[in-house]
Amino acid sequence: MNNFFSASLKSAVIFSVIFTLSGCDNENLSNPTLSQSQSESTISIEKPMVQHNREKLIRGIKFDAVLDPWQVKEEEQLSLIRDLFEGLTAYDAQGNIVPAVAESWQTQDNQNWTFILREGLKWSNGMPLTAQDFVLSWQALSQSESPFKFYLQYLNLKGAKPVLEKKQPLTNLGVSAENDRTLVITLDKPTPYLPEMLAHIALLPQYRDLDLFVSNGAYTLSLRDEKGVHLVKNPYYWQKDRTSFKQVDYVPYNSKPLDELDIIWSPPKKTENIQYFPQLCGYFYEFNLRDSKLANPLVRKAIASLISVSAITNNEMPNSIPSSYFLPKAMLQGQDSRWEPVLAEQLLAQSHITEKQPLILRLTHDDTLLHQNIANRLARQLSESDLLRVEDEPMSWRQLQEKRNKGDFQLIRSGWCGDFNHPMAFLGLFYSKSPDNKSGYTNAEYDQLFEQALKSTSEKERSEIYLKLSEIIQQENLVLPLFQYTTAVYISPSVMGVQKNSIGAIYSKHLWRKVEVE
């Protein structure tokens, strides 16, 4: 499956996220980066290191810098947008959702929300920033040609579908301003994770005069020239006193020696000072639960018990995170520490699978090298059972999607990325009423718990439900997880404040330069 807005921003077999917000099942991730390859040698940076400017941060970029949030197409372009703009909510250095332009919010039913904006907010030109700016921005997005406009519908915003289709007026969109500091958001259905979804760049405010470039984030545009994009601290930003770097430059990564750069997202070559950030993206094989044999949970459990996710991951994607769980590791709350012995042969025999009548298991996957290698390892592990016969079915990525949509598969290579940092970005794939449910899974208990979580206003109760839903996925082996993707990030040893997080957010405002004392 795909991310909601990745690459050409294809939909996630219906909906899934922006990169993180970067589909794990799209063609961009069909091949590992050099950072995942074991054959690449590591480049050592000669010492002594150059003396970095304490007041300037230099970030290397591979793709063209984009100043319009609605034009973002690559993951690394997000950092520049996050430096320039701020939405109702944002991420802290650990990747947790925190109040941003909105200082607080409340709801009684998870469907009708009130957000209170901070007092005295201003744009980078000193003009007041108000709740009406968000109303106008979202209305403009709904009428734009940007694929990001569909995020309004994904948000469950009331009236989004008919307004996007231009069948109803803009005023029917479920967002309004009671006054300068009070924004009211009305949804079509309960969505308790709305604050997490509001951190998406599609929902950032736009200045009313589009002929002027005005921002509201920690930095504002100073200059764009052939050397790159140059930012300076926004003197009107509400947290300006906590922002260390006075300037931030985004420059082509090949325009300077590596030791003169501070941060590079997905560096083209392996080098020292690399950190691997977990993504909200998982790689797995999907069972077709409409298949008569695979509909049996004992058969799926037997198949899963034969797989060593560590052996596959460590050999093919050594910097990824091996995992036999569907949810990203950070969402499991220690749930992944459990283990139980399973005898595959006994489970298969109970399911009337014998050596004379073995289970013919077809592995459908992309024909690119990485996916072929993973499928080969998977096939070898499964073939250790005399009761299984594995058939390899490689094909193009497009053919793979056609097979999945038609339900013409047994085990098919798949993946999923969350649009926002919340378990419900993943758990919906097995809700029987979800358009993303392609496996054919239906479970009345699962649906009841899922709907209960949507309605509950107790965070504790919701967290307990999420773990129960994850346990159902695990106990019934609805998918065959292999690993969680990571992204390589070069970070200069002189830059402090970077913390690994699952949404890949490195805001320049959180960083500072280490001072060397001689």
Confidence of residue 504 (pLDDT cuts 50, 70, 90): confident
Model confidence, pTM:
0.86
Q: Which range among 23-27, 108-112, 367-371, 459-463 shows the weakest confidence by mean pLDDT?
A: 23-27
Q: Report the mean per-residue pLDDT for the chain.
A: 88
Boundaries of every domain in the chain: 52-62+219-273+492-517, 86-216, 278-486
Instruction: Supply the DSSP string of 481-517, one letter for each residue.
Output: EEEEEEEEEEE-TTEE-----TT----GGG-EEPPPP
pLDDT (tens digit per residue) in 191-235 = 999 999 999 999 999 999 989 999 999 999 999 999 999 999 999
Residues near 459 by Cβ (< 8 Å), separated by ≥ 6?
none
Pairing of strands 175-179, 112-117: unpaired
pLDDT (tens digit per residue) in 418-470 = 988 999 999 999 999 998 887 889 999 999 999 999 999 999 999 999 999 99
Token output for 243: 């922002």
Average pLDDT over residues 26-42: 39
Confidence of residue 174 (pLDDT cuts 50, 70, 90): very high
Average pLDDT over residues 246-262: 92
- CATH assignment, 278-486: 3.10.105.10
Instruction: Characterize 143-170 residue by residue with b for buried, 16 or more Cβ atoms within 10 angstroms of its Cβ, and e for exposed.
Output: eeebbbbbbbbbbbbbbbeebbeeeeeb
**Which architecture does CATH list for 86-216?**
Alpha-Beta Complex (3.90)
Give the right CATH number for 52-62+219-273+492-517 from 3.20.20.140, 3.40.50.970, 3.40.190.10, 3.40.50.720.
3.40.190.10
Q: Round to whole Å and give the CA distance between 517 and 499.
A: 24
Identify the residue whose tokens are 């990747």: 95
Q: Round to whole Å and give the CA distance between 322 and 307.
A: 12
The predicted pLDDT at position 271 comes to: 81
